[in-house]
Amino acid sequence: MKNKLIIAITIILIFTAGFATAHAGDFWIGHNNNVNTSQNLDKIASKLSNYKSQVNTLNDTINALKAKNHDLTAQLNNSSAATQAQIQQKIDEGNAKVAEKQKEVDAKQATIDDLTKRLNTGNADINQAKAEAQSLDEKSSSVAGK
């Protein structure tokens, strides 16, 4: 009877060790995927930061151009009829530059929005992977505890 009990315990330990080894490999693969995802998110966050910096620079340029536009408008109001045509031309050029910079800002903002969406999707994927890893860990713990 004692020998049968020892044999049964040995067999259970062998199967448990094999099961745990198999799940440890799966967990390590999941861990590597999490690390890669985290690195990719860091790259996206870096790009996002760079784009935000570019948007801020473009916004500063737009503000400067708007200020220049305002100054030119004031000059127009104080100028004589002979110089109004020249001033209007400058205003039009300023407006064209503002519109051009605004298009750049809009394009950068669209890129930022896309990267933010991808970052949020990546965070959801990481949370899903963490939940799955935790579930595997709980299953592994419950199997090892039995």
How confident is the model over 117-146, as pLDDT tens digits? Answer: 888 787 777 888 788 878 877 777 776 655
Could you tell me the pTM of the whole model? 0.34
Considering only CA atoms, which of 19, 22, 23, 17 is closest in space to residue 136? 23
Rounded Cα–Cα distance for residues 97 and 87 (Å): 15
CB neighbours of 123 closer than 8 A, spacing ≥ 6? 41
pLDDT band at residue 60 using 50, 70 and 90 as cut-offs: very high
Phi-psi map region of 79: left, alpha, beta (phi>0 left; psi -120 to 50 alpha): beta
* Residue 42: domain span: 2-145
**How deeply is 73 buried, as exposed, middle or buried, from its count of CB atoms within 10 A (0-12, 13-18, 19+)?**
middle
CATH number of the CATH domain containing 127: 1.10.287
Query: Could you say which DSSP state residue 119 is in?
Result: H
Q: What is the DSSP string of 104-115?
A: HHHHHHHHHHHH
How confident is the model over 71-118, as pLDDT tens digits? Answer: 988 877 776 666 777 888 999 999 999 999 999 999 999 998 988 888
CB neighbours of 12 closer than 8 A, spacing ≥ 6? none
Considering only CA atoms, which of 114, 111, 119 is closest in space to residue 54? 111
Provide the number of structural domains found in the chain. 1
